[in-house]
Amino acid sequence: MRCRKVRSFLSAYCNDELTPNRIDAVADHLDNCADCRREETLYRSILDASRKVSTKKTSVDFNNKLMNRIAQERFKETRTKAYMPKRAPLFSWSKVVPAVAAVCLVLFVSAVTYNNYSSSPTSQPLAVNTNNDGGDDSYLTVMPTNNPNLKNNVATVDKNWSFNRQLAQAERINKISNVLTSSASSDFYNSPFEFRTSNNQIVEIPLPFVKSYFIIRPVIKVYVSPDNTNGKEDARGF
């Protein structure tokens, strides 16, 4: 048994409170350890001195008097020195200062941005129709100022252009297209080949394929002459 464990048992060993096995183990250790024997001697001297001191007798109501005195002192302390925590402030500088700084920063950035925007050159306003006599068709003649294609093709634009003429031309082309793509024409192109033999016999050779095609409609591009002073489409416009 080690010294530390033996010294934890010395008080019970001196009062004969250990089991027989523990008493034998502690006694064997004390025979071989001078420091632990010195500790045993100190414990036994304290035990003998405590036994020689006369015991003080207390009254029967000692415990009741003690508890009443403690209650009175506690009541007096709570009445005179009560601790009341302070009310938490609604606004604290640690929260107000950052909020004010953030608001000032936002206002400063907004003012700088507004000044820069107001000082920058403004773009040209969009054209607004102020006429009350109908729709404005000026969008048909709106073109960029620097248009090389327009400069090269101005000479080719028909000066006598009109929407009715263009519409009539489109209708004529549509009729021609319908005639060319009719069923009769389709049967003509899909009919078999015929030829006469030396015996004047007519032999039909069917086509090895079906000559089908799509009905193609012509696409008419309509341009408005930039020299047109009317500025509006005809009544039959798009």
The string of pLDDT tens digits covering residues 20-35 is 899 899 999 988 889 8
- From the CA atom positions of the chain, what is the Rg in Å? 61
Q: Name the residue type at position 101.
A: A
Q: Name the residue type at position 198.
A: S
Q: Which residue, chain included where needed, has tokens 């006429």?
A: 131
The span from the CA of 147 to the CA of 145, in Å, is 6
Q: Cβ atoms within 10 A of the Cβ of 61, count? A: 9
For the entire predicted model, the pTM comes to 0.26
Tell me: the pLDDT tens digits for 174-224? 888 777 666 444 555 555 556 666 677 776 666 555 555 444 555 555 555
Q: In terms of Cα–Cα distance, which of 96, 100, 83, 223 is closest to 150?
A: 223
When mean pLDDT is compared over 88-97, 155-164, 190-199, 223-232, the highest value belongs to 88-97
Under DSSP, is residue 195 helix (H, G, I), strand (E, B) or coil?
A: strand
Please report the sign of the dihedral spanned by the C-alpha atoms of residue 189, residue 191, residue 193, residue 195.
Answer: negative
Find residue 196's DSSP bridge partners: 202
Task: Please state the domain extents for the chain.
Answer: 1-52
Evaluate if residue 147 carries a pLDDT over 60: no
By the 8 A CB rule, do 36 and 65 touch? no
Confidence of residue 236 (pLDDT cuts 50, 70, 90): very low
Under DSSP, is residue 123 helix (H, G, I), strand (E, B) or coil?
A: coil
Distances in whole angstroms, Cα of residue 48 to Cα of each of 41, 53, 126, 160: 11, 9, 116, 143
SS3 content of the chain, % helix, strand, coil (to 5): 55, 5, 45
The span from the CA of 130 to the CA of 209, in Å, is 63
